[in-house]
Amino acid sequence: MSEQPLITHRGGCHCGRVRFEVDAPQVLRVSECNCSICSKAGYLHLIVRAEHFRLLSGEEALTTYTFNTGAARHRFCSVCGIKSFYVPRSHPDGFSVNARCLDADTARELIVRPFDGRNWERSYPEGRGDFER
Ligand SMILES: [Zn+2]
């Protein structure tokens, strides 16, 4: 499964101002994080390298929220409040896309794995995570 070809998925926020493209396999491996912010939002993380993410529109509508170490840059649409992607603490040189914000027509399946973000230092003892590919 690790060598599935990448296809282009599209997604965005609720009001439609924020739109993006992301290159990822058809079967998406995503993580469900139990940290303070992800659990409240129900965020499903699809982690991609920076070159596999393209913001198409909505830069002017995005607002940035940080807390704790400030390493993660949570980016919300200031109009509808939806966080459709952001720069995660685990992968500061990439993006986390919210798999729940992808358009429905391209992903064949979501494989959801739990991630223990509440115990971040234990989950990522090196301080950050690796990309799967
Ligand atoms: Zn919006």
Which domains occur in the chain, in start order?
7-113 (2.170.150.70)
Distance, CA of 62 to chain centre: 15
Q: From ligand 1's centre to the CA of 107, what distance in Å?
A: 22
Query: pTM here?
Result: 0.90
> Tell me, what's the pLDDT at 130?
80
Question: pLDDT tens across 27-67, in order?
Answer: 999 999 998 888 999 999 999 999 999 999 999 999 999 88
Ion ligand 1 contact residues with beta carbon within 5 A: 13, 15, 17, 77, 79-80
Measured CA to CA, the distance from residue 78 to residue 22 in angstroms comes to 22
- Class of residue 41 by CB neighbours under 10 A (exposed 0-12, middle 13-18, buried 19+): middle
Position 1 pLDDT exceeds 60: no
For residue 123, pLDDT over 60 is answered with yes
Cα–ligand 1 centroid distance for 24 (angstroms): 23
Both tokens assigned to 105? 């027509």
Residue 133: band (very low, low, confident or very high) from pLDDT cuts 50, 70, 90 = low
* Closest alpha carbon to 22 in 99, 76, 80, 87: 99
Contact 73, 66 (CB under 8 A): yes
Rounded distance between C-alpha atoms, residue 5 and residue 27, angstroms: 10
- Tell me how far the alpha carbon of residue 125 lies from the centroid of ligand 1, in angstroms: 35
Question: pLDDT tens digits, residue range 56-72?
Answer: 999 999 999 988 888 88
Give dist(CA 92, CA 83) in Å, integer: 17
